[in-house]
Structure 1
Amino acid sequence: MMFSKIGKRLRQPTFSGFRNSATGYSEVPDLDTGYYCNPANVQEIKQNINRRKGIGNIERVNNVYNQLKFMPETNSSYKALMYELGKLLMSLPNKTHPSVQMYDETPKLLQEINERRDFGKYAPLEFSEITRRLNLMRTDKLGHTCGHKSYYFLDELAELEETLLKYTVSFLLKNNFNLVSVPDILPSNILESCGMSINTDRTQIYSLDPHHHGPDLFLSGTAEMSLAGFLKNSLHSKMDLPLKLAAVSRCYRAESSSVIEERGIYRVHQFTKVEMFAVTTPEQSDDMLEYLRSLQQDLFTPLGFHMKVLDMPPHELGAPAYRKYDIEAWMPGRNSYGEISSCSNCTDYQSRRLNIKYKDENSIKYVHTLNGTACAIPRILIALIETHQDPKGKIFIPHILQPFMNGKTSIGKNIAVPELKLLKKLK
């Protein structure tokens, strides 16, 4: 059973060289001060921050560290400097894989999958126009229900959404993933430990009203964070690794975009996603990243749309990723590519912050964590429907999905739910 693999719980780790029960800093994670606070590594770390266009002040880290080394814990400034050092270390990005350190701002193309569909003289329609004509979606005038950047899927489009989720979960179960049902509300320490920014001008995280729902609660942007939080303070046997988990969840993103390529339902405030999460030894994580990428390719290829696989440059990695692959699908109605998935190796960036370890003979070490998108709706739907649209007013269903759609081979106009005529409210 999965829970026997997850193992027993540990106490919160000490912060190397500084923690004392009198200081009250037991929640400060073990953030590799041997690397970050070594003056010989300052230039390397600074270059990494610049390449990744990230935040972090490595000079200040070393300055504070050196002050603390020789300061007695009874000094009145000790606790404030200790807190500052923890915050500074938490803000630094992960290291970058040597193979991608010198990439410019253009991703490296690794592979193309499936041919672009030739529509002949027919000009393919956009997802929003197809679904409007077939009465399968509603996105306009939703202010009185769910607001801007939301949607309703109707009839067979809603059925197709469920089909994609069932197809994906079935695929992952056959590949020995353990399915976990996860919470969508998390505290800040879990989100920040996974590499998310909270309460900043650029945050994508929805916060709950502390006066009505309790302090420090946020809506999760991906099941990756819930799965990582589930494993917090856990100790694993090396024999049980790698551990492969998967979850279906709603994802909440407080983001907006005026970019024309991200119009319609390409970027929305909430959507459903199937996420993969893996825990490995350090020696296994490079191979696991390749495995996750191969799973994504095997999962998407039978869906029939054209894709390209990209090795992402440093500035696209975010804070936690050591290396990241994206898959972009061709969306014929938009005449452009759109990202449908990614997979990342976060090495020990998250495990150090969440205290996730494994036992290797007589020593205890930090695991490596990885994540990957298995199915992100609605972007998969955009690529799928724009690729398989028919000029006569149908959407063909790929053969591999038909068993999950009760044998249906196509989707037609929705007549089960009548088209809604919205009335103006008279004053």
Structure 2
Amino acid sequence: MLSSDSIFIGKLARRSSAVANRCLRRWTSSLLRPGAELNTKYICDPTNADEIEKNIKLRKCDGDIRLVHQLFHEWQNTLSDKIRLQFEEEALKIPNRTLEHREENKCLKISGHQKPDTKPLADVAKKHGWCRTNNLGNFVGPRGYYFFGELVDLQQALVNVVIQTLLKKNFQLVSVPDILPAEAIENCGMPTRGERTQVFRLDERHGNDLCLSGTAEMGLGARFMDTTIAREKLPLKVAAISRCFRAETGNVGEEKGIYRVYQFTKVEMFALTPGDIQSSQTVQNEFVSIQTQLNESLGLHFRLLDMASDELGKPAMRKVDLEAWMPGRRMWGELSSCSDCGDYQSRRLNIREAESGSFVHTVNGTALAVPRTLMALVETHQTPEGTVVVPEILRSELDREVLGASPEKMTHGKYIRSYDGN
């Protein structure tokens, strides 16, 4: 039986969206940016409390829907700014709805053939002078690296081929900033404070609440902040090449090399779609298809995983990861991820359809994460002689079929050997 408070909240919830949003527009102090809206109609409806609580538990998030309802009730009764800010703070912790709950990852596809164990990239790179990851304390720390010679050529060839592929599929190429306000990052769903954050924050002397971007998704989302998009232009697909900065934690010894680093180059796909699940799911499936085709063309052995609920974080309704087999490390390693975030990000960034005023949906996906792709490619295509066979899709970019044969076969860059061979 519902309590009198729950009945009252229920009555308010039926009109909560209009009431709450009118109040938010009237007040100047808010955790939400002007024009942004929480889905109070859904969140504050007591009939959804059990569903939301289950979703929070399965996704291992820190939201408390009962506290949200309590604060919402108090806010509507008192119109207190203090209570409203507390309500917003707690409501922002509630994760997105989940398209399909599952306790374990579901394998959608396995492509290619598992290759026999080979030498790790680090050993091959040391032999040819391609990479240095050791003794970098005076430069970039234990999760930094240098690339040299043919590995630099291979990186550039990968980026070029991926960008050419996306341009043929009508993506617009955007150059994004690497420094963003914390607000823009948080509105995309990544916390910038606390022990669990992976975000590097700049010193206050260099700006007010600025951070290094963890992925181009954040810069691309911020690009469309406070905009309206004509429905005829949707889905709007953009892509960016950027440096990504991650304050990674964990055992450096177990993840030595370039598997988990503080900065790396990535090509990111991002789309705005009409504000319905069918539209954003269509685009997510398109992104996954692009990821699949690119990695098949590189001759990698990989699997596609529809991720379990506790792997979704807060923004995603559904997430699909692509993991490649890395023979040198004898492990599956994530190369790319693709998320349908519904209106979670667009509500916080205030991105709407022009005609209806409804919030669009956002989809993001990795087209190329350079270091891990290099690892999988080099370890997969090694020969007994210690050279690396170049996949056909990259040969015109590299103008060669084999890497590591001899320095004289370099064509796109100067062969540089690190001074200590590491």
More divergent stretch after superposition (22-31 vs 377-386)? 22-31
For residues 264-343 of structure 1, what are the structure 2 equivalents within 5 Å?
A: 264-281=257-274, 282=276, 283-343=278-338
Helix, strand or coil at the partner of 2:92: helix
**Shift of the alpha carbon at 1:174?**
0.7
Gaps of 5+ in 1: 1-12, 423-427
**2: CA distance, partners of 1:135 / 1:421:** 9
The two structures, once aligned, show a CA RMSD in angstroms of 1.8
Q: Assess if the C-alpha contact under 8 Å between 1:31 and 1:352 holds in 2.
A: yes
Q: Residue type of the partner of 2:166?
A: L
Q: Residue type of the partner of 1:264?
A: G
1:67 aligned to 2:74? yes
Q: Residue type of the partner of 2:249?
A: S
**Shift of the alpha carbon at 1:86?**
1.2
**Shift of the alpha carbon at 1:90?**
1.2
**1: CA distance, partners of 2:55 / 2:255:** 29
**1: CA distance, partners of 2:420 / 2:129:** 12
1:87 aligned to 2:80? no
Say if 1:20 and 1:151 are closer, same or farther in 2 by CA, change over 3 A. closer
**2: CA distance, partners of 1:419 / 1:253:** 26
**2: CA distance, partners of 1:383 / 1:65:** 50
Residue by residue, what CA displacement relative to the aligned partner does 1:39-87 show, whole Å, maximum 9, x if unpaired? 111111010000001111111110010111122x4xxxx1111111111
Aligned match of 2:187: 193
Helix, strand or coil at the partner of 1:309: strand
**1: CA distance, partners of 2:385 / 2:231:** 57
**2: CA distance, partners of 1:351 / 1:172:** 23
**Shift of the alpha carbon at 1:414?**
5.4
TM-score (norm 1): 0.89
**1: CA distance, partners of 2:354 / 2:223:** 19
Q: Residue type of the partner of 1:93?
A: P
**Shift of the alpha carbon at 1:392?**
0.7
Q: Residue type of the partner of 2:92?
A: M
**Shift of the alpha carbon at 1:22?**
4.8
Aligned match of 1:38: 45
Q: Which residue of the other structure, out of 133, 139, 149, is the alignment partner of 1:145?
A: 139
Residue by residue, what CA displacement relative to the aligned partner does 1:85-119 show, whole Å, maximum 9, x if unpaired? 11111111110013xx1x12x210111111123x4
1:253 aligned to 2:246? yes
Q: Which residue of the other structure, out of 101, 106, 110, is the alignment partner of 1:108?
A: 106
**Shift of the alpha carbon at 1:14?**
9.6
Residue by residue, what CA displacement relative to the aligned partner does 1:242-278 show, whole Å, maximum 9, x if unpaired? 0000000000000122177633211000000000001
Q: Residue type of the partner of 1:95?
A: R
Number of corresponding residues: 394
**Shift of the alpha carbon at 1:203?**
0.6
Aligned match of 1:96: 98
Aligned match of 2:417: 418
**Shift of the alpha carbon at 1:219?**
0.1
How many percent identity over aligned positions? Answer: 41
Residue by residue, what CA displacement relative to the aligned partner does 1:156-208 show, whole Å, maximum 9, x if unpaired? 10110011000100000011100000001000110110000111001100000
Q: Assess if the C-alpha contact under 8 Å between 1:135 and 1:414 holds in 2.
A: no
Q: Assess if the C-alpha contact under 8 Å between 1:15 and 1:31 holds in 2.
A: no
Aligned match of 2:208: 215
Q: Assess if the C-alpha contact under 8 Å between 1:136 and 1:414 holds in 2.
A: no
Aligned match of 2:26: 21
**2: CA distance, partners of 1:217 / 1:278:** 25
Helix, strand or coil at the partner of 1:246: strand
For residues 371-386 of structure 1, what are the structure 2 equivalents within 5 Å?
A: 371-386=364-379
Say if 1:419 and 1:278 are closer, same or farther in 2 by CA, change over 3 A. closer
More helix by share: 2
Aligned match of 2:6: none
**2: CA distance, partners of 1:290 / 1:80:** 43
Q: Residue type of the partner of 1:168?
A: V
Residue by residue, what CA displacement relative to the aligned partner does 1:106-145 show, whole Å, maximum 9, x if unpaired? 210111111123x4xxx51011111111111101101111
Q: Assess if the C-alpha contact under 8 Å between 1:332 and 1:386 holds in 2.
A: yes
Helix, strand or coil at the partner of 1:284: helix
Q: Which residue of the other structure, out of 203, 207, 210, is the alignment partner of 2:197?
A: 203
Q: Which residue of the other structure, out of 35, 58, 63, is the alignment partner of 2:65?
A: 58
Say if 1:418 and 1:264 are closer, same or farther in 2 by CA, change over 3 A. closer
Q: Residue type of the partner of 2:259?
A: Y
Q: Assess if the C-alpha contact under 8 Å between 1:331 and 1:338 holds in 2.
A: yes
Q: Residue type of the partner of 2:396?
A: P
**2: CA distance, partners of 1:70 / 1:48:** 28
1:134 aligned to 2:141? no
**2: CA distance, partners of 1:14 / 1:332:** 58
Residue by residue, what CA displacement relative to the aligned partner does 1:320-376 show, whole Å, maximum 9, x if unpaired? 00000000001111111100001000000000000000034xx32100000000000
Helix, strand or coil at the partner of 2:23: coil
Q: Assess if the C-alpha contact under 8 Å between 2:324 and 2:332 holds in 1.
A: yes
Q: Assess if the C-alpha contact under 8 Å between 1:180 and 1:247 holds in 2.
A: yes
Say if 1:325 and 1:131 are closer, same or farther in 2 by CA, change over 3 A. same
Q: Assess if the C-alpha contact under 8 Å between 1:176 and 1:244 holds in 2.
A: yes
Say if 1:391 and 1:45 are closer, same or farther in 2 by CA, change over 3 A. same
**1: CA distance, partners of 2:23 / 2:51:** 25
**Shift of the alpha carbon at 1:15?**
5.1
